[in-house]
Amino acid sequence: MTTRQSTVRMAFERASIRIPIAEIGLLRDVTPAVRKTLKYGQIAASIAEVGLIEPPVVARDGKNPNRYHLLDGYLRIDILKERGEEEVVCLVALDDEGFTYNKRVSRLATIQEHKMILNAVKKGVSEERLARALNVNIDSIRHKRALTDGICPEAIDLLKDRHVPIATFTELKRLKPVRQVEAAMAMNSMNKYSITLAKTIVAATREDLLVEPRRKPTRGLTEDQIALMERESATVDRDFKIIEKDYGHDHLVLTLAIGYVRALLGNVRVVRYLAQYHPMILAEFQKIAEFQAAA
Rounded to whole angstroms, the Cα distance separating 138 from 42 reads 14
- Number of C-alpha atoms within 13 angstroms, CB side, residue 170? 9
**Cα–Cα separations (whole angstroms), residue 31 to 24, 37, 78:** 18, 10, 10
| pLDDT at residue number 88 | 95
| CA dist., res. 120 & res. 49, Å (int) | 14
- Cα 50 to Cα 43, 44, 125, 213, distances in angstroms: 10, 10, 12, 46
What CATH class is the domain 17-103?
alpha beta
**Residues paired with 25 in a beta bridge:** 69
pLDDT of residue 294: 47
Contact yes or no for 73/57 (Cβ under 8 A): yes
Closest CA to 67 of 29, 28, 14, 20: 20
Residue 82 identity: E
144 contacts 117 by C-beta, under 8 angstroms: yes
pTM over 0.75: no
Q: Given this model, what pLDDT does residue 86 score?
A: 94
Per-residue pLDDT of the chain (295 residues; tens, 9 = 90+): 455 556 777 878 889 999 999 999 888 889 999 999 988 998 999 899 888 888 999 999 888 878 899 988 999 999 999 999 999 999 998 887 665 666 566 667 888 888 888 888 888 988 888 888 877 788 888 888 889 999 999 999 999 999 899 899 999 999 999 999 999 998 888 888 988 888 888 888 888 899 988 766 556 666 776 677 767 777 777 777 777 677 777 777 888 888 888 888 888 888 889 888 888 898 888 888 776 554 4
Domain boundaries, the chain: 17-103, 107-147, 244-294
pLDDT of residue 35: 93
Q: Are 176 and 209 in contact (CB under 8 A)?
A: yes
Neighbours of 187 (CB within 10 A): 22
Per-residue pLDDT at 235:
73
Q: Which amino acid is at 226?
A: I
Separation CA 225–CA 231 (nearest Å): 10
What is the phi-psi region of residue 4: left when phi exceeds 0, alpha when psi lies from -120 to 50, beta otherwise? beta
Within the chain, how many helices (H) and strands (E) appear?
A: 14, 5
Per the CB < 8 A criterion, the answer to whether 55 and 88 are in contact is yes
